[in-house]
Structure 1
């Protein structure tokens, strides 16, 4: 730290001097905004008497889910396949370990920016046999400008607060000594809202009515610590 940064002519003193008194403040900003994306999780289940039958059934159901999600085009920003498993079910009675059936499951995650399409897609997915739908989880994009705006507001509040302290002493700020980011907290990622589960829906010809999903407002919080030097006040 140089003497210019302290607003004085001598070496930097962390707690200020009579010639360059220091003021330390904290600036905060809290914004509440609409979400930009929503994520749903889809778990596809299958069951078969043998491993091949379970895999065939799981492959068919998984393909149906992927085709349905992809049919929504640009409304779906991301589609990912996660955990996959095929597990044997052993008989509860009898001697020895004999496989009674095989259970398969695969997990798919879809991220959407079109919330109108979200309700319709979630409903149609939940209407599929042996399919579980979880979510939606609402969020802002990692690079959303809302985060930068929260940080700017926190800095402006810190400057304004420091000026008010200086004005209370009948003086003004001289220089910025330090600006420390103590955490611009991200919006709560994918805060859980409604959970939907479907095991064996009886589909009607027209299909179920789309769910009306209300987006969950996102909280964005930013904080900074700022230290300034002031021109010596007359006390």
Structure 2
């Protein structure tokens, strides 16, 4: 039965001569300054006695944590990750015996003050048996840059659709669909994209000057698919 004039017309998945559709893609690429920097700190200890190695590791871990926390608001987050105490075995006659114990603690620090970052990194690397990795530059998940890129991609899609319609001598009528095509393949927050990494191990006996770390610009992408209806052109 054909629909009456008072019944809503079913939406068609394609255009018609009376309501032609136009499909476009909008894209945006921004290059912005990072908002946070992460560094990895690995504190190590070694001793022939298990308790001695563990005590030494505890002391060095506390020293590293106190140093990081002394920077106050410049450090947004500090977390302790993996901990291990591992025996080193060596051959002795027909059997094996424990030669030494190796202990490690991994700490992650997240900073927002990049001026303090260079100084802290150098001071950490100056500690005994301490390794520093990073920095890894990143944006926050709720960074305004993401919203700016999405809005720019939508504006580009609308502008592109208008240009196609103008080329046909007509105008857009309505938005039919807007899809974020990057939603299913979005990269996670800690993906390591756009990073600059280094590794420092303490070996100096004198206080080293602060590192001059240049923040690496971050790339923000957004893509959308948009479909519009337009007024029938006169061809």
The TM-score normalised by the length of structure 2 is 0.91
Aligned pairs, number: 224
Aligned equivalents of 1:118, 1:170: Cα separation in 2 = 57
Aligned equivalents of 2:45, 2:195: Cα separation in 1 = 26
1:159–1:39 distance in 2 versus 1, CA, 3 Å? same
Aligned equivalents of 2:106, 2:24: Cα separation in 1 = 48
Q: Could you tell me whether the CA contact under 8 Å between 1:129 and 1:201 is conserved in 2?
A: no
Aligned equivalents of 1:27, 1:190: Cα separation in 2 = 23
Aligned equivalents of 2:232, 2:218: Cα separation in 1 = 43
Partner of 1:45: 44
Aligned equivalents of 1:152, 1:137: Cα separation in 2 = 27
The structural deviation recorded for 1:50 is: 1.4
Per-residue Cα deviation, 1:61-114 (whole angstroms, up to 9, x for no partner): 000000000000000000000000000000144321211110000000000000
Per-residue Cα deviation, 1:20-78 (whole angstroms, up to 9, x for no partner): 00000000000000000000000000001111011001000000000000000000000
Aligned-residue CA RMSD (Å): 1.5
Partner of 1:224: 224
Aligned equivalents of 2:217, 2:170: Cα separation in 1 = 42
Runs of 4+ displaced beyond 3 Å: 184-192
Q: Could you tell me whether the CA contact under 8 Å between 1:38 and 1:190 is conserved in 2?
A: no
Residue correspondence of structure 1 range 158-177 to structure 2 within 5 A: 158-177=157-176
Partner of 2:155: 156
Q: Could you tell me whether the CA contact under 8 Å between 2:194 and 2:219 is conserved in 1?
A: no
Q: Structure 1 stretches of 5 or more lacking a match?
A: 1-8
Aligned equivalents of 1:88, 1:189: Cα separation in 2 = 33
The structural deviation recorded for 1:229 is: 0.4
The structural deviation recorded for 1:12 is: 1.6
Q: Structure 2 stretches of 5 or more lacking a match?
A: 1-7
Residue correspondence of structure 1 range 1-235 to structure 2 within 5 A: 10-183=9-182, 185=186, 189=192, 191-202=194-205, 204=206, 207-235=207-235
